[in-house]
Amino acid sequence: PPVSNFPPPPPPEEPGLKQANVLFEYVAQDFRQLSIYPDGPPVYIVGPSSYPGWLDARSDGKEGIIPENYVQF
């Protein structure tokens, strides 16, 4: 098959959600948490979490909580 010189399309946006800039890598410690990486897929903020210091977020088709101080938006 022919090889394309074009980059892959960007991941779909999450309408109505704010995209966060990931400052530090965070690897999930349990099932409620979401792993995030500065050079990873886009992270979208769903809203505040019921856990102080955490945010509900969505990335790469998954949803979970992330540390608030690991992102800025």
CB atoms within 10 A of CB 37: 13
- pLDDT tens figures, 13-67: 778 899 999 999 999 999 999 999 999 999 999 999 999 999 999 999 999 999 9
Query: Which one-letter amino acid corresponds to residue 15?
Result: P
Q: Which of 63, 27, 57, 28 is nearest to 44 (CA)?
A: 57
In the structure, what pLDDT confidence band is assigned to residue 12 with cuts at 50, 70 and 90? low
pLDDT at position 62 = 96
Global pTM value: 0.81
